[in-house]
Structure 1
Amino acid sequence: MEQKISIKKGNVQETLLLPLWGRAYETQKTNPRLIDQKAVEIVEKLDYDFSNIIKTQSMSQHGWVARSLHTDKMVLDFIQEHPEATIVNIGCGLDTTFSRIDNGKIMFYELDLPDVIALRGNFYEDSDRHRSIASSFLETEWFDEIKVRDGLLFLAGGVLYYFEEEQIKKFFIKAADHFKECDFFFDSLSPMGMKIAKKQVLKKGGMGMPMDGGWGLKPIKALEKWDTRIKVINAIPMSRGMKKGLPLKAKIVLSIPDILGVCSMVHMRIESP
């Protein structure tokens, strides 16, 4: 029997299992909204008890699937316009986006802390167009490793709200200084959303990480006040257009955060003056 791969409990890296499980669970449904066989493969190889997540995260699971669907659409639209685009997946965790969207031409970087990149090495091998970078995204020396040919898109799913606003602001400005023009696509939580996520997802899901601090964004247009080069292109409520096939009760429950602006997918662009 193949030995399973253990996961360290009690830190931010443990949270990467949540969306991974969400995609794998969805894939195995009778009528899945998302098919991600790579996520199923990874879950089966991990030595981790997912039982508490299964019991407590039925509604959050819809959010993780929706985020992946939004991201896939954004990337596919972007590479339709930029067939040889460079895409950087910030805080990639055990994300599997590349497996779903690769057009055979893009350059795709997976960026995360060294222990996460080492964990990913059990499931992915680097190639000429799919590379790993072991670094905190805040330590921006890694900018020099990014080769841009035809448009640059940064993804950051389930990442930025774990940090403080000033850290994110400085990072965006450094990106603007270095790359001049690029796009970002990420999920944001309002201050209310931060409180809900910490209580309903991290605590109930058995995540052992600290739950202090974090970045709650509202209104989303406030990003444009950080720097004149920052433009908010779009902000989509997380569950908008993602409820097809769900039970009526789930549709109602998921509509409430959308109405309150709790969680959104944000498309932000950095442009030269």
Structure 2
Amino acid sequence: MISLDKEKETLWIPLYGKARESQKKSPILKDPKAEEIIGRIDLDFKSLNIPEKTNTMMCLRAKLFDNYVRNFLDKSGHTVVIHLGCGLDSRYDRIQQTHVQWFDLDFEEVISLRKKFYSESETYHLIPSSVTDKSWIESIPTGYDDYLVIAEGLFMYLREAEIKTLLRALKESIGPYTLIFDAFSTYTAKRISRHPSLKKTGASIQWGIDDPDHLTTWDPHIRWEKVIWLTSNEEIQHLDMITRLIYKIAHLFPMARKAHRILIYSVHS
């Protein structure tokens, strides 16, 4: 039996969700690695109480992250990708671009578990560390053309001061980089802890953001580039008709549209 606590335990939610989605006839996201891992772990995943609408959102979010990362790498040069709070996600496998230097980072217990299913290589690296322990940044090589920092399902578990410190430390070490992460609105962040899956793990939500320009007040070198709406995007067309309608209606209302979205920033020296 594998035992993880609080925020660490939340990694089971997207993992099981992707495995479930992959078994559908027309999945939003196909993730054979998630299916493999679920099949090898002795855990009562159904006890996580993941609603189907949450599962759809998580898989849609992952697919949108994948799309952005793939497009970024297609246009970039000598690149380093840093995937913060990677959990057991298989993005490196799904992207299939081995010409980049890819670093997956998570807590020591998580990376220890991850090593049972993933092997490091000349281009793929694992870093066992808390995101907020800045010493891990020394593991990232400098002097590359492009840097992409991914934080999917992570920043909402950190305090604002911790995120500020992290972004500043990265800039001071590696120089300019692109940042992509998903964020709740402040209203959603206050209410989401009632979600049955989060209540099951005991994890707590610390941070939400209403105005994307808020990050630019932290540092004049941070620039907001783009928002990717979870309620309106190129992948919605692959959902069933009723779900597409629900998303379309939700997108009409600012509170629903901004409840959870993906934000992209460029950070300059």
Q: Secondary structure at the match of 2:19?
A: helix
Counterpart CA distance in 2 for 1:43 and 1:237 is 29
Q: Compared with structure 1, are the counterparts of its residues 201 and 78 closer, same or farther at alpha carbon in structure 2 (3 Å cutoff)? A: farther
Q: Secondary structure at the match of 2:178?
A: strand
Q: Secondary structure at the match of 1:47?
A: coil
Amino acid paired to 1:199 = R
> 2:13, 2:50 within 8 Å by CA — same for their partners in 1?
no
Unmatched 5+ residue regions in structure 1?
A: 1-5
2:99 corresponds to 1:102: no
Match of 1:265 among 254, 262, 265: 262
Amino acid paired to 1:11 = K
Match of 2:223 among 213, 228, 231: 231
Counterpart CA distance in 1 for 2:212 and 2:30 is 31
Amino acid paired to 2:75 = E
Counterpart CA distance in 2 for 1:43 and 1:99 is 16
Unmatched 5+ residue regions in structure 2?
A: none
Counterpart CA distance in 1 for 2:145 and 2:46 is 44
> 1:138, 1:167 within 8 Å by CA — same for their partners in 2?
yes
Counterpart CA distance in 1 for 2:196 and 2:218 is 30
Q: Compared with structure 1, are the counterparts of its residues 198 and 252 closer, same or farther at alpha carbon in structure 2 (3 Å cutoff)? A: farther
> 1:38, 1:96 within 8 Å by CA — same for their partners in 2?
yes
Q: Secondary structure at the match of 2:190?
A: helix
Partner of 1:143: 137
Q: Compared with structure 1, are the counterparts of its residues 224 and 209 closer, same or farther at alpha carbon in structure 2 (3 Å cutoff)? A: same
Q: Compared with structure 1, are the counterparts of its residues 210 and 74 closer, same or farther at alpha carbon in structure 2 (3 Å cutoff)? A: closer
> Across the two proteins, how many residue pairs are aligned to each other?
263
Partner of 2:34: 39
2:65 corresponds to 1:68: no
Amino acid paired to 2:85 = G
2:147 corresponds to 1:152: yes
Match of 2:115 among 111, 121, 129: 121
Match of 1:169 among 161, 164, 181: 164
Q: Compared with structure 1, are the counterparts of its residues 66 and 190 closer, same or farther at alpha carbon in structure 2 (3 Å cutoff)? A: same
Partner of 2:240: 247
Partner of 1:92: 86
Partner of 2:214: 222
Counterpart CA distance in 1 for 2:94 and 2:17 is 16
Amino acid paired to 1:251 = R
Higher mean C-alpha deviation, range 169-178 or range 118-127: 169-178
% same residue: 26
Q: Compared with structure 1, are the counterparts of its residues 75 and 10 closer, same or farther at alpha carbon in structure 2 (3 Å cutoff)? A: same
Amino acid paired to 2:208 = G
